[in-house]
Structure 1
Amino acid sequence: MSPRAGSAGPHTLAFVESPVQLLNVLEWAYSNALQDPGAGLTLVVLSPTDPMTRGQLRRMAELARDEGYEVRWEEARGGPTAPFHTIGGLAGVLRRADRIVMGDPFSRYVQLLLTITRARELVVVDDGTATMEFVAQLARGERLVRWHRKGGRPGPRDLLFAPVSSSARRRLTPSAHRTVEVFSSMPIDSVPEGVKVTRNDFSWTRVRFGPPRLTKGADLVGTSLVETGVVDGDRYLEAVRALAKAHGATRYFAHRRESTDKLRRLAAETGLEIVRPDLPLELIARRGPIGRTILSFPSTVVHTLPLALVGTEVRVAVCDIDPTWLTENASPRAQGFLSGVTGTARDVHRLSAVSMA
């Protein structure tokens, strides 16, 4: 039992499925320490199957335990019966929790768990750019759908799950009996009525790590836009090669969802050193060593890295996605959404789409 698990304050249950979500729960907990120092926090990791994600989650879980929080690791996807065992095992603590913190309101797992809870306080912490879309959809009263999903009619699984998704959306709407907070470093324009938005400025990260030692060169940050079917793989490789050549980048920090085959090809055809981080990039960059320039395509890091690296001499530069790079299966909303991610980023240097010549 952790030092805080049995504290007298209201108990908080946090559900995370990615390393970044776990990092942002720690940031949320740190920012709330003065207002609610006695609150117990239990982190529930709904473990995915991807080895890279699992490895980063293990490392983040260690950091959470070092902070004194209880961590409960659930093999939530470890076979056909795993979801039933996980949900059944969590039902009791879910009903007793006063506050639920979640990293991904689009997650069907989380939406199922929300149907069980009686918590009067719900908190959504950042899951990157998806947070922007979640808040916008909540404000418009739309069903919760990830931005990169292709438009059109819902599939059979969507229709089957629709009642649960609708219930989750209702629970994530503030009422006289329930408060909803969004803890985010992302730009949020249209805030639903009654939703409290709290700024995540990465205070915990800056206090615990760094400042970093800076190298002379540039580093490039990878993206999973190819894996999600948004950007064409060949076009992406050409863009990385051109960007690295133009700015003298030597290292490529891979996104945890990037495929091994793609990374192997990138290394062979660009000469970049492929780095597979064992922690979220915000922590990697803060610990250093890191390049004086960090190059990225539109992604969460163009918003989070300037905050994590405030006070250092690191420059974050973002390269636009050319519309011709998009696949025919990309959502009709993809280009506008990606442009919005870039256009709303603060304290970054904006690059035009690189020339393929």
Structure 2
Amino acid sequence: MGKPRLTSIAFVESPLQFLSALEAHEPDEDLLIRARANAKGMTSFLDAFDTAWLPKRVRLEREGAKPGILRKSPPDRIYIGDACSGQVHKALSLAYLERRMPEVVILDDGLATYSTIEILTAKRGPLVRPRQKLKASRAVMAAHVADRLRGLAPAGRLRWHTALPVSKTMRKAFLKTGAEITRHKFTHLQTLPTGGSHPRDNPVIGSALAADGLIHEDAYRSWLDKLAAEGPITYYPHRRETDEFLAELAEDERIRIKHVGLPIELRLINLPSDSTIRSLPSTAAVSLATLNPDVTIAVTEIPAKWWTGSSPDSLRKSLNAQTVKADVDS
């Protein structure tokens, strides 16, 4: 009689988290992906994603993180996309208040993942996003979950599965806790029939920094104007950009806006080697560099005068410090 098959569940709230769960899935693992369909941009993504693209033994449900599923069918492993999600905190707190928590794997959640890893590396502190202010009850729950996850590290039951660059300092500090780091290069994503050869249409990756109030919109618009002045561009909006901003942008005949339900990583696979993708510091730039190693990823560092002052210096420095090549192979 063979050993029982590994059962896992993934809680994801963004397209990148979803794709990261597919990359983390192991061939002999039964994985249930619980996607939060009402999160920004997720409904259009899930509608566009063909379930035939799922690996074998992977199922998808649009239910999000609910404690009931963890109580009814306790998994051997939990994949977490947004470790700062209130819904995830509630599910984990209620299901594992007095029970032993299984192995937990942190998935990439954009550049915000670095903040999550720094929090888990610290000896104390709640899992909270930069600039986020929590109510007292939420803060207690966020601190409880952070402590429970930290407690998994010495037993080798906390892992970060990533395609992001990992600095030597961050890698050393995280591994010192007893946690693990595993890497991927979007192997499954590259097998999907969504990319292929694309015309050289000067792609530009849209940023949410202006929409989130971190940089001035007029500065961002000026940057796009300068790019368009060099020739027509194809603009791939970020899922959090507003309809009003995109409608105004569409009035510029030099800018072609390409709305895609699927994330840009799925649309810009296998570009011609002489292509150039332009972007501000972003996770998409890092992902596309992994997917298209022969393509030029031109990342513009954000000038100091662009910032609105609503983000801490650490976040601004962290964003501008990002590169599109991993500096450590874990």
Q: Same fold (TM over 0.5)?
A: yes
Q: What's the TM-score bracket when you normalise by the shorter of the two chains?
A: 0.7 to 0.9
Q: CA offset at residue 237 of structure 1?
A: 0.6
Q: Does 1:237 align with 2:221?
A: yes
Match of 1:123, SS state, is: strand
Matches within 5 A, 1:12-161: 12-29=8-25, 32-33=26-27, 37=28, 39-50=29-40, 52-60=41-49, 62-63=51-52, 65=54, 67-74=56-63, 87=66, 89-93=68-72, 96-115=74-93, 116-117=95-96, 118-141=100-123, 142-147=125-130, 149=131, 155=133, 157-161=134-138
The residue that corresponds to 2:266 in the other structure is: 283
Q: Residues 212 and 87 from structure 1, CA distance in 2 versus in 1: closer, same or farther, beyond 3 angstroms?
A: closer
The residue that corresponds to 2:140 in the other structure is: 163
Q: How many residues align?
A: 312
Query: Unpaired segments of 5 or more residues in structure 1?
Result: 1-6, 77-85, 348-357
Q: CA offset at residue 245 of structure 1?
A: 2.2
Determine the C-alpha separation between the residues in 2 that align with 1:199 and 1:120: 21
Determine the C-alpha separation between the residues in 1 that align with 2:38 and 2:280: 25
The residue that corresponds to 2:237 in the other structure is: 254
More deviation, 287-296/182-191: 287-296
Residues 140-181 of structure 1: CA deviation (Å, up to 9, x unaligned): 23432323x27xxxx4x4322111111111122135556011
Residues 179-201 of structure 1: CA deviation (Å, up to 9, x unaligned): 01100111223242111101121
The residue that corresponds to 1:354 in the other structure is: none
* Percent of aligned pairs sharing the same letter: 26
The residue that corresponds to 2:305 in the other structure is: 324
TM superposition score normalised by structure 2: 0.85
Determine the C-alpha separation between the residues in 1 that align with 2:299 and 2:61: 37
Match of 1:203, SS state, is: coil
Please tell me the residue identity of whatever aligns with 1:87: K
Q: Cα RMSD between the aligned structures?
A: 2.6
Determine the C-alpha separation between the residues in 1 that align with 2:52 and 2:207: 25
Query: Unpaired segments of 5 or more residues in structure 2?
Result: none
Q: CA offset at residue 205 of structure 1?
A: 1.5
